[in-house]
Amino acid sequence: MNPTEPREIVGAHVAPEQPLAEAEDLGAGCVQVFLSDPQGWKKPPPREDADQLRSSPLPLYVHAPYLINVCSPRNNVRHGSRKILQQTCEAAADVGAAAVIVHGGHAEDSVAEGVKRWVTSLERLSSEVPLYIENTAGGDNAVARHFDDLARLWEGIAGLDDGIELGFCFDTCHAHAAGEELGDAVERVRAICGRIDLLHANDSRDPAGTGADRHANLGKGEIGAGVLREMISACGGPVVCETPGGAEEMQADLEFVREALAA
């Protein structure tokens, strides 16, 4: 297999200051960054290295801020979320990003209402880069936590013709935290979404079904090394590790993924 094919693209979430240098130090085939404070509402600032990032062949994924929740019934949260998501997509296009990843969010009233708000949000969004919705670990009435609800969301947004390329990002820790059966999780997600565009390969510090989004290094947490290898192999690449620790721990996790893909 050609090492540049998507299945072989394995990378890491890195600090935003010098993503290309960090990728080189880690031997990563792609990187993921935040372009603004992940817990804030401020617009992503212009980057002095935008031209360099655009011209680099290294795929760069942009994770949108965590607090985005476009399916909230609260006007201030929903409208603020739409605004920062639009700004993030624009900033991602400026650096030539491969995609923007955003959490599905939750609706305080019902999943059905949350799906409707997602549809409206996408109809109002414009983006030159693909938008990948990610499954989430917890939250009442979360639209992408349990796979049954994810199916309702995907049915609601699949028919949109708004010029945005939509995709799905599958997070292994989040599926474990949601209490989903992991043995056939990849197959079930593919049956819902058609494909998996990006894999977040993460172990979990907490038992299954707790809703806790606390990542662990691969094979060191509660999911189990064997299950993780099977999911990574079934899913393929591109893969981003969002695991804790320094360069040594991340390099070990990248090697774990490469071995799983090669098996």
Per-residue confidence band for 7, with pLDDT thresholds at 50, 70 and 90: confident
Q: Check residue 217 and give its pLDDT.
A: 98
163: left (phi over 0), alpha (psi -120 to 50) or beta: left
Indicate if the pLDDT at residue 262 is higher than 60: yes
* Crossing angle between the packed helical segments 147-157 and 111-124, to the nearest 10 degrees: 40
User: pLDDT tens digit string along 68-92?
Assistant: 999 999 999 999 999 999 999 999 9
Compute how many other C-beta atoms are within 10 angstroms of the C-beta atom of residue 187. Answer: 11
pLDDT at 133 over 70: yes
Closest listed residue to residue 102, CA positions, set 87, 123, 113, 112: 87
Predicted local confidence at residue 4, as pLDDT: 53
pLDDT > 70 in the chain, percent:
98
Among left, alpha and beta (phi > 0; psi -120 to 50; other), residue 194 is left
Q: Tell me: pLDDT of 93 over 90.
A: yes
Judge whether 72 and 102 are in contact, CB under 8 Å: no
State yes or no: pLDDT of 164 exceeds 80: yes
Omega prior to 6 cis, within 30 of 0:
no
What residue ranges define each of the domains in the chain, with the CATH number in brackets?
Answer: 6-262 (3.20.20.150)
Answer for the pair 180, 211: CB distance below 8 angstroms, yes or no. Answer: no
